């Protein structure tokens, strides 16, 4: 890949003709229209979220170096930002008065700064490498230079590798923080829109976890109809089966559950009653497991991670049972007493026994001393939920 060092471009040059799309959260053009600031392999603008945009401008005011910036030469009069788009977008947004920085104790937008300081910012020189090469070389270099700073996450990297019309359309729908559907979707999806969490989840659902394969096969598609339809089908199904929104719904693998249970009939009213009952149960440790537990017929209690007996309770039950067993000349495991002769009188050590509910939690049993018994591990594992 061929590179040429440029030191004659200033912040003012970059900001000439700067266009920023507030709807999509991206800088579009600069350098009098010659520079594409955010080609599709670039992530959304994220410096605003962490106030790093302010830090960039403060660095300029303190005359600190801004680091290298890389452009890709598309043709004689057209360039794309390979690395540095977050900084460049920060320049442009500040010069166009999109945010303020503190100067001499007061918050100041660009136009409110002293004229001499404005000129100094605009004349600040940048160190830029122009790169020229084939697409695979450019993408490989993009991945290499993005191992520092705010690293690319998995989906941002996939967007770069499989950039094209499909990614463009998908980002317009799922990476757009101004999309009116985001609020509804946020009840079921965790993460940041700008960091591609919603796009990643949509792709994960429709591809059954094979995101890269799906993106590769659809890279040149000019619409995302199948992706949108599947995503909306999952969301609609969830909101129908579970009519009320709960915080614990966020981040669940709804796509997998949709595939597994979408053909099952449910009574939303009864479902909600069960959800409220389980979420208010102090013995349910894994609250996010409530929804899959209900969908599966309330049979797999491992999904809930029911709170177990603490060590003092186990020791107390062990001592009580062992004393009684020795007096009767039988095993301190009540199930061994009823079993083969070999263990009918065996006194198990504490370490060889597990605490369990006398009356199972699913049948109304509570997790306290009066409902605790210790069994040898063989019988405890065999007991299950009987």
> Is residue 58 domain-resident?
yes
pLDDT over threshold 50, residue 44:
yes
Under DSSP, is residue 89 helix (H, G, I), strand (E, B) or coil? helix
Residue with tokens 């107390």: 316
> Is residue 183 domain-resident?
no
> Is residue 349 domain-resident?
yes
pLDDT attached to residue 239: 95
> Which pLDDT band, with edges at 50, 70 and 90, does 205 fall under?
very high
Residue that is last in its domain, among 89, 118, 151:
151
| Non-local CB neighbours of 149 within 8 Å, separated by 6+ positions | none
Structural domain including 323 reads: 311-383
Rounded to an integer, the average pLDDT of 14-40 is: 77
Backbone angles phi, psi at 203, to 5 degrees: -70, -40
> Is residue 278 domain-resident?
no
pLDDT attached to residue 261: 97
**pTM of the predicted structure, to 2 decimals:** 0.58
pLDDT over threshold 80, residue 45:
no
| Count of domains for the chain | 2
pLDDT in tens, 320-358: 999 999 999 999 999 999 887 789 999 999 999 999 888
pLDDT attached to residue 27: 56
Comparing 9-13, 138-142, 294-298, the range with the smallest average pLDDT is: 138-142
Rounded to an integer, the average pLDDT of 14-20 is: 87
pLDDT in tens, 93-137: 999 998 999 888 889 999 999 999 999 999 999 999 888 877 677
> Whole-number mean pLDDT of the chain?
87
pLDDT attached to residue 385: 47
pLDDT attached to residue 197: 94
> Is residue 249 domain-resident?
no
Task: Give the pairing type, strands 353-357 and 26-30.
Answer: unpaired
In this structure, which long-range contacts are made by residues 95-103, counting pairs with CB atoms below 8 Å and at least 24 apart in sequence? Answer: 95/11, 95/15, 95/18, 95/121, 95/122, 96/15, 96/18, 96/20, 98/20, 99/48, 99/53, 99/54, 101/54, 101/57, 101/58, 101/61, 102/54, 102/58, 103/61
> Is residue 182 domain-resident?
no
Residue that is last in its domain, among 118, 151, 184:
151
């Amino acid at each position: 890949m061929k590179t040429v060092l440029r030191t004659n471009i200033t912040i003012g040059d970059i900001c000439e003709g700067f266009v920023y799309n507030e709807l999509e959260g991206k800088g579009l053009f600069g350098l009098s229209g010659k520079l594409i600031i955010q080609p599709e392999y670039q992530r959304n603008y994220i410096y605003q979220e962490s106030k790093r945009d302010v830090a960039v401008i403060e660095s300029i005011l303190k005359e600190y170096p801004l680091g290298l910036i890389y452009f890709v030469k598309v043709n004689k009069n057209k360039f794309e930002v390979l690395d540095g788009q977050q900084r460049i977008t920060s320049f442009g947004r500040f010069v166009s008065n999109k945010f303020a920085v503190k100067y001499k104790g007061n918050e100041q937008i660009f136009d409110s700064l002293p004229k001499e300081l404005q000129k100094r910012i605009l004349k600040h020189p940048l160190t830029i490498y122009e790169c020229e090469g084939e697409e695979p070389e450019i993408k490989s270099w993009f991945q290499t230079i993005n191992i520092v700073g705010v690293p690319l996450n998995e989906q941002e990297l996939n967007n770069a590798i499989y950039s094209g019309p499909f990614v463009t359309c998908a980002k317009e729908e799922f990476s757009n923080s101004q999309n009116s559907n985001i609020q509804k979707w946020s009840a079921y999806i965790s993460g940041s829109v700008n960091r591609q969490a919603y796009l990643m989840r949509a792709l994960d659902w429709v591809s059954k976890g094979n995101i890269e394969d799906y993106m590769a096969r659809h890279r040149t598609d000019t619409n995302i109809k199948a992706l949108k339809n599947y995503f909306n089908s999952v969301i609609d199904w969830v909101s129908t089966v579970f009519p009320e929104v709960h915080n614990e719904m966020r981040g669940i693998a709804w796509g997998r559950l949709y595939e597994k249970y979408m053909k099952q009939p449910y009574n939303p009213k009864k479902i909600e009653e069960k959800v409220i009952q389980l979420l208010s149960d102090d013995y349910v440790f894994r609250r996010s497991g409530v929804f899959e537990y209900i969908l599966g017929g309330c049979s797999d209690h491992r999904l809930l991670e029911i709170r177990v007996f603490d060590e003092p309770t186990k020791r107390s039950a062990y001592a009580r049972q062992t004393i009684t067993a020795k007096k009767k000349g039988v095993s301190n495991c009540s199930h061994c007493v009823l079993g083969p002769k070999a263990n009918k009188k065996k006194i198990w050590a504490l370490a060889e026994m597990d605490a369990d509910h006398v009356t199972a939690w699913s049948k109304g049993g509570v997790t306290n001393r009066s409902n605790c018994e210790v069994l040898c591990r063989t019988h405890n594992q065999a007991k299950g939920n009987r």
